[in-house]
Amino acid sequence: MSHEVPHGAQPDETAPKLDFAGTTPYEDYVKADVLTHLQHPLSDDPGEMVFLVTTQVMELWFTVIVHEWETAAGALRRDDLPVAMAALKRSVRELEALNASWRPLAGLTPVQFNSYRSALGEGSGFQSAMYRRLEFLLGEKSSSTLVPHRGAPRVHGELDKALHEPGLYDEVLRLLARRGHPIPADVLERDVSAKYEPCPEVEAVWTRIYAGPQDDELVRLGEALTDVAELVWRWRNDHLSATRRAMGTRTGTGGSAGVAWLEKRATKTVFPELWTARGHV
Ligand code: HEM
């Protein structure tokens, strides 16, 4: 189809195509019109827009990262380490981008936050189902976190499925066992819907792997998982700092003690034996 050219002007052969029969192929792919009309602030405060959009942006990153970790878990199950490593490495970059998106909210003052806080009602990130799936993949399983989603069958179904599937670390430990490392049977056969608890024998396996050749693919796997663990810890701590600055010791909109509750969450170690093993290498 020819480009539309204003009367008397020379056609610019390098310009993009302008005429499409229906919606643009960009719109058909990106759904930008849908995405950019999902912002409905609940107050008149001009500062609420960036709070809402940052939260939506983080939800999108959670979605991508869950996709990467599910890809990695599936690949580990098939002993396909290159595909698992590629997904984990992508997730490391994505976690960096996720964490960078704290910047617009990192310095909120209580007066700024209070300008729209009451409009949030009982809404809280604690009710984020995609964040919960991310935590489940890290072994931070908890059936009680499904309760808020009882009224949303699709979300509840997805969470229930994720609760009962092995997490990323479960698949890592099963792969280590298949490669001859002595992972105890009760770890391999654990109830995967329960929170992962650290185990001395698993720590000893990582200690042995880490003491060996540094270019070993299992050391590289351990390091990719350590990057993930560190960046998740940073997300939790950046969230804690932003919350401390925005509301001090007030209780959370989701009904928790607020900062005191988040402090406990932020001390949780992701993939614990990958950290404790370092003291024995
Ligand atoms: C500066 C603004 C923010 C404040 C003051 C804040 C405050 C809080 C508080 C107090 C909690 C504890 C639960 C509660 O009682 O509500 C919480 C949980 C949570 N928030 Fe935020 N939050 C902020 C921004 C965000 C953003 C932008 C996200 C992105 C999605 C987010 C995601 C979460 C998640 C996932 C939890 C649950 C954490 C867990 O289960 O360990 N928060 N937040």
Q: What's the mean pLDDT in 233-240? A: 98
User: What is the pLDDT confidence band of residue 126, given thresholds at 50, 70 and 90?
Assistant: very high
Which two structure tokens, joined as six digits, stand for 143?
A: 């059936």
Which of 57, 102, 131, 239 is the pocket-test mutation for ligand 1 (most atoms within 8 Å of CB)? 239
Instruction: Determine contact, residues 103/239, Cβ cutoff 8 Å.
Output: no
Our count of domains for the chain comes to: 1
Ligand 1 atom at shortest distance from the alpha carbon of 62? 30
State which ligand 1 atom lies nearest to the alpha carbon of 145. 40
In a domain, 187, yes or no: yes
CA terminus-to-terminus distance, the chain = 66
**Is 29 inside a domain boundary?**
no
Above 90 in pLDDT, residue 226?
yes
Determine the structural domain holding residue 97 and report its residue range.
47-101+124-280
Which protein residue's CA is at the shortest distance from atom 29 of ligand 1? 55
Smallest CA separation from ligand 1 atom 20, residue: 125
pLDDT over threshold 50, residue 2: no
What pLDDT shows up at residue 198?
Answer: 97
Percent with pLDDT over 90 in the chain: 96
Q: Where are the alpha helices (DSSP H) in the chain?
A: 25-30, 32-35, 48-77, 81-100, 110-117, 129-137, 153-164, 168-178, 185-188, 200-211, 217-247, 259-266, 272-276
Residue 3 banded pLDDT, cuts 50, 70, 90? low
* Whether the predicted pLDDT of 88 surpasses 70: yes
- Residue 77 covered by a domain: yes
Distance 243 CA to ligand 1 centre (A): 7
Residue 129 lies in a domain: yes
15-52 pLDDT, tens digit each = 999 999 999 999 999 999 999 999 999 999 999 999 99
Which domain CATH number covers 247?
1.20.58.480
Q: Is residue 28 one of the residues assigned to a domain?
A: no
**Is any ligand 1 atom within 6 A of the Cβ of residue 133?**
no
131 lines ligand 1 (CB under 6 A): yes
In a domain, 76, yes or no: yes
DSSP 103-154: GGGTT--HHHHHHHHGGGTT--GGG-HHHHHHHHHTT---GGGGGGGTT-HH
With a 6 Å cutoff on the Cβ, whether 105 touches ligand 1 is yes
- Residue 134 counted as domain residue: yes
Q: Does residue 39 belong to any structural domain of this protein?
A: no
Residue 19 pLDDT: 94
